[in-house]
Structure formats: C-alpha cells, structure tokens
Amino acid sequence: MTQNRSLPASYRRIFCIGCNYAEHIREMGNPPDEQCVIFMKPPECLVTPGTPLRLPRGLGAVHHEVELVVQIGDEGRDIPENLALEHISGFTLGLDMTLRDVQGALRKKGHPWELSKAFEQSAPLGEMIPFDPSRHDLSRVEMTCRVNDELRQQGCTSDMLFSVNRLIAILSRTWTLLPGDLIFTGTPPGVGPVIPGDEISIESPATGVFVWPCV
C-alpha cells in the first residue's frame, strides 16, 4: 500500500543520524562514541501527516523518535561547515520509527540497522518549511513528541553532538548531496513504545504540529 502519494516526487535519499544527543545515548545504555552514526532509509518509508501508521506485527516494540529534518536544495560535495546552510532549502520535524527489539539484536551481532529502521512507514514527515537563514536558527529548534497527549520527548537542537552544519559537511565527504535529499538529524531522550490505537503528535514553534494515528 503506497503511503507517499502526496509527498513531493523530488525527495531522494533519506540520511539518518543515530546517537546525536548525549541524554538519548545514556537512556539507551550505549557508551559514548565520537563517531557520527549514519544509516539510510528509502524514500518509500515517508508518510504524510494524518496518514495512519500501520505498526509491524510480531517484531517486538515499536518506538517513536522525534527529529529535526532538513532538506538539501543545492547540490554539493565536500561542503565546508561555514557554507552548509547555503545548501538547505527546507526543514521540518519527522519521526524515526524504530523496531527496538530488532535493533537490540542487530547491535549484539554487529549487524547493520536497516531491518529495525527502514521498514515500511518508518519515516513520518511533517510539512516542509522553506528555510530562511535570516529567520530560522537550526541550532535552536525546540521539539516535543506526545503520545495520546502525554509528553514523551522534549528537546532542542542546541543539545546535538553533531550540528546541522557539521552533519552536512560529514555526509558530503562521502556522498554528493543532491536537491531533495533529507537528513534526519537524531532524537533527544524520551523515546518509547507505541501500540495500535495510539496517536503520535510532534510539535515545534518553528514548524507547527503534525499528527499520526497508529493502527
């Protein structure tokens, strides 16, 4: 069942950053790591606001992870940090849905995370806000995640270990970043499970509110 009919066809790759908030690293019981954790999802994982999220069955806990998401507007390779913002065309909030039990098993075996991160509908995405560097400070975007109106996550991008500028510089060393590429920048602490019947809402003063029902 296709879930991204109303999403722009220009969306390309989805780069995701793991372990980018110290408090989230601690709550997951992981040791601090100076390396930038990078994984990817196909664009078919994207889900527009209001579309029901069909949670996988029989694969253990499904966790919500609210994140700032930025969209690349101008192509670039080996982008310096001080020029990174020039390559951003938009930003919003998104959810990195995670099969936590599956991820834990993969971690123990040293395997890649895709089975726990890149399943169908694992990347709910809010409406994109055109980025204006004179108005928007991506280093201080506040965000919350609520499940059934209960506050689960509250964070600010000022707490990221790798800033948006630095992430773009790091990614562009390996990949030529292209218009339509998305970067999910990592999640603050407070991640937790959702079940069918729950409603997830994510919000920032910079973006507004986006809601998904779980079925």
CATH number where 19 lies: 3.90.850.10
Q: How far apart are CA 143 and CA 188, in angstroms?
A: 9
| Domains in the chain, number | 1
Sign of CA dihedral 75, 81, 86, 88: positive
What's the confidence (pLDDT) of residue 36?
82
Q: Is residue 41 part of a domain?
A: yes
| pLDDT > 50? residue 180 | yes
Q: Is residue 185 part of a domain?
A: yes
Q: Is residue 3 part of a domain?
A: no
Kindly state the percentage of the chain with pLDDT values over 90.
83
Beta bridge partners of 22: none
Q: Is residue 2 part of a domain?
A: no
Beta bridge partners of 183: 15, 70
Q: How far apart are CA 24 and CA 28, in angstroms?
A: 6
What's the confidence (pLDDT) of residue 7?
59
Q: Within 13 A of 151's CA, how many CA atoms are on the CB side?
A: 7
Q: How far apart are CA 160 and CA 139, in angstroms?
A: 8
> How far is the CA of 76 from the CAs of 84, 134, 184, in angstroms?
9, 21, 18
Q: What does pTM read for this prediction?
A: 0.93
Average pLDDT over residues 128-144: 97
Q: Is residue 207 part of a domain?
A: yes
Q: Strand runs (DSSP E) across 36-82, as ranges?
A: 37-41, 46-47, 62-64, 66-72
Q: Is residue 9 part of a domain?
A: no
Q: Is residue 199 part of a domain?
A: yes
Which residue range is the domain that position 138 belongs to? 14-213
* Cα-based angle 201, 53, 118 (whole degrees, multiple of 5): 105
pLDDT digits (tens, 9 = 90+) for 20-73: 988 777 776 676 666 789 999 999 999 999 999 999 999 999 999 999 999 999
What's the confidence (pLDDT) of residue 78?
98
Q: Is residue 156 part of a domain?
A: yes
What's the confidence (pLDDT) of residue 57?
94
Residue environment code for 8-24, b if the CB has 16+ CB neighbours within 10 A, otherwise e: eeebebbbbbbbbbeeb
Nearest Cα residue to 103 out of 67, 162, 63: 63
What is the rounded average pLDDT for all residues in the chain?
A: 92
Beta strand 88-95 with 129-130: parallel, antiparallel or unpaired?
Answer: antiparallel
What's the confidence (pLDDT) of residue 1?
36
* Cα-based angle 29, 30, 32 (whole degrees, multiple of 5): 130
Average pLDDT over residues 187-191: 94
